[in-house]
């Protein structure tokens, strides 16, 4: 596969990594449905960021959106009161949780 053939999939993957996500079910139905309460979910710091843990964290925060943030990942600087940010390290362990 040539470098040119790899560029479009890589670009799509990078753009997807910059977006917020709304988990599939079990929480607010639409983006902006709830304000973020990061203080409620600080117990998740130090846990592995599995899909189940992230879903539980998202529900517990009351947020409409969840945004996982990997080391060195580019993120938008806009503030959203309905978004919980979950910072993970290279081992996919949650290192911090905040709103925005």
Query: For the domain that residue 8 is a member of, what is the CATH number?
Result: 3.30.10.10
What secondary structure, in 3-state letters, does the chain show? CCHHHHHHHHHHHHHHHCCCECCCCCCCCCCCCCCCCHHHHHHHCCCECCHHHHHHHHHHHCCCEEEEECCCCCCCCCCCCCEEEEEECCCCEEEEEEEC
Q: Residue 23 has what pLDDT?
A: 52
At 65-97, the pLDDT tens digits run: 999 999 999 999 999 999 999 999 999 999 999
Structural domain total, the chain: 1
Instruction: Compute the average pLDDT of residues 18-27.
Output: 50
Q: Residue 80 has what pLDDT?
A: 95
Domain range for 15 is 3-99
Residue 10 has pLDDT above 70, yes or no: no
At 32-51, the pLDDT tens digits run: 468 999 999 999 999 999 99
Residue 84 burial (10 A CB sphere; 0-12, 13-18, 19+): buried
């Amino acid at each position: 596969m040539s470098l040119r053939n790899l560029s479009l999939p890589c670009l799509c993957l990078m753009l997807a990594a910059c977006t917020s996500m709304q988990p599939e079910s079990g929480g607010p139905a639409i983006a902006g449905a709830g304000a973020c309460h990061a203080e409620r979910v600080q117990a998740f710091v130090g846990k592995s960021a599995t899909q189940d843990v992230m879903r539980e964290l998202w529900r517990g925060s009351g947020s409409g959106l969840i945004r996982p943030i990997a080391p060195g990942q580019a993120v938008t600087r806009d503030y959203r009161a309905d978004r919980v940010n979950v910072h993970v390290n290279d081992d996919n362990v949650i290192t911090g949780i905040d709103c925005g």
